[in-house]
Amino acid sequence: MSKQHKTIRDLAADLAAGRITSVELTQRMLARAEAHRAQCGVAYVSLDGEQALAEARASDAARAAGIVASPLAGIPISIKDLFDVQGQVSSAASLALADAAPASTDATAVARLRAAGAILLGRTNMSEFAFSGLGLNPHYGTPVNPLDRSRIAGGSSSGGAVTVALQMAAGALGTDTGGSIRIPAAFCGLTGFKPTASTVPLTGAVPLSRLLDSAGPIAHSVDCCAILHAALSGQDISLDAPAVKGLRFGFTRDYVGANVDAQVQQAFDAALDQLRAAGALVEQFDFPELLELPTINGGGGLVAAEAWHWHRALLEQKGVQYDQRVAARIRRGQQQGAADYIDLLDARRRLIAIARSRLAPYDAWLMPSVAIVAPELAPLEHDDAAFFATNGLVLRNTSVINFLDGCALSVPCQADGELPVGLGICGLAGQDAQILRLGRAVETLLRVHVHR
């Protein structure tokens, strides 16, 4: 859990006890967001203050009448700029969609948050069309890391992570196609959860990859993510956390363990040591098939193929308005034929089957969420080679889980005073509730260690 920041459950308790109202809470977060903008902060692309306060007043009235929809009732949440909100334009932080018609209905994920009583504060900045793990945006500006303004916040859900880190929202709705929730969570010292792709409908969201896109939360704790995921998925997430003693964790040096920053490696190894000391079985296993992924995805992979399908007409009409680095990655999909796409699907099925066998002995698979700490922004803005090389390294570990149709948490595991490092706690399709339960136990253990 991020230090000195109240969790969603803390805020819900404050609301229930009358220590604060939803209007007061919303006003505080809007004031921080306005102050952030006044200091040239670009985490939000738009704020919806009047509507948010109207929702907060209605929430307070409902609570006074004994109606509390969920633990999210009255809690301010930020929304990534690719989700439809009725009456608003979903631009995906791109000029190419800036003049699109306003949405006639909420996206399913947004409607579910609204039904749970959440207060929608505004739309958050992102990598254009969600197609980068770095969070740079030449149109709306690049959100910078709240812990070191010379560094990136990570992408593509960059603005969402910054809104949570700077207490401009209690949680953020993001998406994750190759790591776009977990990367900014890891870089900003937050917790992010990428669910199994099929668990949260993406109706009403600008797509990147129809097979790999997932919608999920960035917040201050595993419990916050579980509360948000319960609302988004409609699933009942159990609140109990197992004892760490006797849990079985596997990690591999194959692919996801290579070329890891010294600081990241040190934090990861320390986390493994803490788990072992608490009685967990933590052992290394071999997963050499992961080394095939660069070849499998050598033509741009499923993301480029599926992004090209959606963007081809828009690129023809408005290609000059795109971030040209994003446009170049999308156009790689034009080079793939139907046979190439089917080869990708076959390779994915094969690796998923192998993963089931490799991971069968373990309750969860652990890896560094990202191989490096948040890099500095300046070199990435002006050097295409540095941008693409860094983007590939940042996405490498997280994208494995999307390719394998899995689910994963990123929880902070750095020592006090160091740049944030994320610990990836990963599972396969349908193991969402198990990963959230294990994540609670691991988070509690790591928090005790860090603050000791």
Considering the domain architecture, whether residues 268 and 158 belong to the same structural domain is answered as no
On whether residue 314 sits in a domain, the answer given is: no
67-126 tens-digit pLDDT = 999 999 999 999 999 999 999 999 999 999 999 999 999 999 999 999 999 999 999 999
254-295 tens-digit pLDDT = 999 999 999 999 999 999 999 999 999 999 999 999 999 999
Annotated catalytic residue within 127, 132, 156, 209? 156
pLDDT at 237: 78
pLDDT band at 238 (very low <50, low <70, confident <90, very high): confident
On whether residue 178 sits in a domain, the answer given is: yes
Structural domain range at position 19: 8-233
Considering the domain architecture, whether residues 78 and 18 belong to the same structural domain is answered as yes
Active site residue 80: yes
360-419 tens-digit pLDDT = 999 999 999 999 999 999 999 999 999 999 999 999 999 999 999 999 999 999 999 999
pLDDT at 393: 98
Considering the domain architecture, whether residues 159 and 56 belong to the same structural domain is answered as yes
Considering the domain architecture, whether residues 222 and 253 belong to the same structural domain is answered as no
Mark which of 177, 204, 233 sits at the end of a domain: 233
Considering the domain architecture, whether residues 221 and 271 belong to the same structural domain is answered as no
pLDDT at 446: 95
Instruction: Work out the burial of residue 324: count CB atoms within 10 Å of its CB; fewer than 13 is exposed, 13-18 middle, 19 or more buried.
Output: exposed
Considering the domain architecture, whether residues 207 and 284 belong to the same structural domain is answered as no
On whether residue 142 sits in a domain, the answer given is: yes
Annotated catalytic residue within 2, 59, 90, 180? 180
194-204 tens-digit pLDDT = 999 999 999 99
Considering the domain architecture, whether residues 274 and 157 belong to the same structural domain is answered as no
On whether residue 189 sits in a domain, the answer given is: yes
Active site residue 156: yes
On whether residue 241 sits in a domain, the answer given is: no
pTM: 0.98
Considering the domain architecture, whether residues 173 and 36 belong to the same structural domain is answered as yes
Considering the domain architecture, whether residues 72 and 142 belong to the same structural domain is answered as yes
Active site residue 94: no
Mark which of 185, 206, 233 sits at the end of a domain: 233
Q: Average pLDDT, stretch 220-234?
A: 97
Considering the domain architecture, whether residues 200 and 266 belong to the same structural domain is answered as no
On whether residue 315 sits in a domain, the answer given is: no
Residue 3's nearest CA partner among 200, 274, 271, 189 is 189
In the chain, % of residues over pLDDT 90:
96
pLDDT band at 236 (very low <50, low <70, confident <90, very high): confident
Considering the domain architecture, whether residues 30 and 168 belong to the same structural domain is answered as yes
pLDDT band at 450 (very low <50, low <70, confident <90, very high): low
Give the total number of structural domains in the chain.
2
Domain at 366, CATH number: 3.90.1300.10
On whether residue 252 sits in a domain, the answer given is: yes
On whether residue 321 sits in a domain, the answer given is: no
Considering the domain architecture, whether residues 145 and 288 belong to the same structural domain is answered as no
Q: Average pLDDT, stretch 147-169?
A: 98
